[in-house]
Amino acid sequence: MSTTITSTTEETKVQLNEYEQERVPRHRWLGPRHFLGTYSGEHVAGTEFVIGAAFVAWGATTQDILFGLLLGNFMAVMTWALITAPIATQSRLTVYEYLRRIAGPGFNKVYNVVNAVLFCALGGSMITVSASAVRILFDIPAQTHWYPDSSAFVAVALAVGAIVVAIAVLGFKKCAQFATVCSPWLLVIFITGGMVCLPVLSNLGNGEAFAGISQFTELADKYIWTGQTPDGSPSMTFWQIAAFAWVCNLAMHGSLGDMAILRFAKSPKYGYFSAFGMFFGHYLAWICAGIMGAGAMLVMNTSMSNLDAGGIAYAALGATGIIAVIIAGWTTSNPTIYRAGLAIQSIFPNKSRAYITTIIGIVTAIIACFPFVFTRLLDFVGYMGLLLAPVGAIVVSEHWIFKKIGLTPLWSKYQGNNLNMAALYTWICGVVFAISCEQLGILHLFFLFVPTYLLSIALYITFARMMGAGKQYTAEIQAYEEELSQEAARHAQEAKLEESVVEEKADKASLTEKISGAVALASLAAILIAASKVWFGGAEYALAFQTFKDFAIYPTLIYFVSATLWITQRDK
């Protein structure tokens, strides 16, 4: 009995070991499906309800939304694919560990604490999004202030947070599996939400039956993206929309946070899988969320300021909308808490990632009880990116630029410095520059990424050259390369012993896998068919709309049972 328990414990430790302080070995690299699921799940999320509705309140025009989001999301994909993924797969390190080697343990501790606090706040806002749906089941009022109005909401947020933390503790692979199950359904739910709300706009707004897609522009200009803000303030421009779409995930791509995920990728090309998140989530889902937000306002006869994500989804999708917001919040908060755990675990390397992630998760769940980030989410992600952008520029400089201009990468490490002062000065100057430009009105918050990034690169190269980066460190480089060689040899030995985690098998799909997969797809098709009846419902749209909301919950439940069985069989 004790031998079995010991063996199981050791196997669990092996599975939870994610090489937080060293390079990910080859036998732990993962194939494309993990990244497809992760990006689709994380970016087809609860924030989409918030951001999609915000564009309505910001007074954007239909044309600016359609084309501005197209450009901005394309730029985001290119940043992931051309900057983050190559650095991650070449170094095989998290940005936290890479930064420790570049800037020293002293700098790393300060940065990781800042990083973790920001990710905790972001993860907390996602739990708040999920809780905003659960609160409808208990008739808890919408939480539109920075503080909770109800002790019941606090209990709901803590309960939702406990589930999120449990998944994040299991590591990247489990987060990816969870996202793989959820993302196809979430995409279908956003699409069908948009489909059923367009007829609502036509019938309740215009007082006439919906005429089909040809009426989209007319309805969009009149009820969704009208070009007018509720308070008469200036409307959001094309370039502001494009810039926001690019920088809203700046912490993950330009600031290299997603090195934590992409270090497992077999190829840097997997960075292009971010397109599934950007164009299904930050394009299609934002547009559909805007339609749902406008539809919810008409159905409930209220303003956008009185609606939260749960309220919008429930008005558009009924009980299925509640599940959608819960799941959408989870798929974003899981990897966010995972990243925060890595940041803090880098400071306490003697503590396991699972232990640290649990502590971080508890803090995040407490933050979720106070919806202050949720109420200011769009400004928060902008400032979060600017705070972290100079550090991304430092890593980019050392990784790609230094050798080309005659400087030595990791020069501060070779000097034995606990704190790379060039990195510290660069970070401070970059943040001061960005915040000053924003506060003085020189540049809009969403436009500050590029000048801050370029300034930080120039400053770091200048400071580093002044402090000794141009010197030769032959002996130190040889010692470091020997250390890496020993690490590689140890990983090779581990690979032989860890047969359970060697490369993915190519066995033929089992009958159970095939059947469960087919049932899952059929469930999604049933939801789309039910939505199409509302789309083509004509004068009977009201009955079809209510029927859809009553019906969609059943194929949803069937989908999650069958999809979970499918992925369990697939990854056996």
Based on C-alpha coordinates, what's the Rg of the chain?
A: 24
Q: Would the pLDDT of 8 be above 60?
A: no
3-state secondary structure of 33: helix
* Residues 305, 50 contacting (CB under 8 angstroms): no
What pLDDT sits at residue 325?
A: 81
Phi–psi pair at 13, nearest 5 degrees? -60, -40
- Token pair recorded at residue 141: 């009022």
What is residue 50's predicted lDDT score, i.e. its pLDDT? 72
Residue 463 has pLDDT above 80, yes or no: yes
> By the 8 A CB rule, do 295 and 118 touch?
no
CA 119, CA 254: separation in Å to the nearest integer? 15
| Cα 131 to Cα 379: distance, rounded to the nearest angstrom | 21
Of 376, 395, 419, the last residue of a domain is: 376
Question: Are 364 and 513 contained in the same domain?
Answer: no
Residue 374's pLDDT is what? 60
Q: How confident is the model at residue 335 (pLDDT cuts 50, 70, 90)?
A: confident
Per-residue confidence (pLDDT) for residue 377, from 0 to 100: 67
Average pLDDT value for the chain:
83
Choosing from 376, 405, 434, the residue where a domain stops is 376
Report CA-CA distances (Å) from 47 to 37, 305, 423: 18, 16, 33
Residue 472 lies in a domain: no
The domain that contains 96 carries what CATH number? 1.10.4160.10
The amino acid that residue 194 corresponds to is: G
Residue 107 lies in a domain: yes
Best mean pLDDT range from 59-68, 139-148, 289-298: 59-68
Q: Is the dihedral of CA 310, 315, 320, 321 positive or negative?
A: negative
CA distance 270 to 267: 6
Q: Is the pLDDT of residue 396 over 50?
A: yes
pLDDT tens-place string over residues 513-549 = 889 989 999 999 999 999 998 888 777 778 888 999 9
Per-position DSSP letters for 394-428, written without gaps between them: HHHIIIIITGGGTPPTTHHHHTT-SS-HHHHHHHH
pLDDT at 476: 92
Instruction: Report the number of distinct structural domains present in the chain.
Output: 2
**Between 141 and 121, whose confidence is greater?**
121
What global pTM score does this model have? 0.81
Q: Which of 65-74, 318-327, 535-544 has the lowest mean pLDDT?
A: 535-544
Return the pLDDT at 133: 73
Query: Could you give the percent of the chain with pLDDT greater than 90?
Result: 32
Q: What is the pLDDT of residue 143?
A: 62
Last residue of a domain, one of 316, 349, 376: 376
- Which residues lie across from 226 on neighbouring strands? 61
Q: Give yes or no for residue 156 having a pLDDT over 50.
A: yes
Q: Domain for residue 494, yes or no?
A: no
- Give the pLDDT confidence of 93-116 residue by residue, as tens digits: 988 889 999 999 999 888 888 888
Look at residue 16 and tell me if it is in a domain: no
Inside any domain, residue 9: no
Chain Cα centroid distance, residue 340? 12
Asked, for residue 468, whether it belongs to a domain, the answer is no
Q: What is the pLDDT of residue 557?
A: 93
Residue 404 placed within a domain = no
Domain residues for the domain of 168 are 30-376
Mean pLDDT of 384-391: 87
Looking at per-residue confidence, does 428 or 386 come out higher? Answer: 428
Residue 2: pLDDT band by 50, 70, 90 thresholds? very low
- Give, for 197, the enclosing helix (H) or strand (E): helix 172-200
Cα–Cα dist 491/365, whole Å? 36
Q: Tell me phi and psi for residue 143, to 5 degrees.
A: -95, 95
Q: Does some domain include residue 419?
A: no
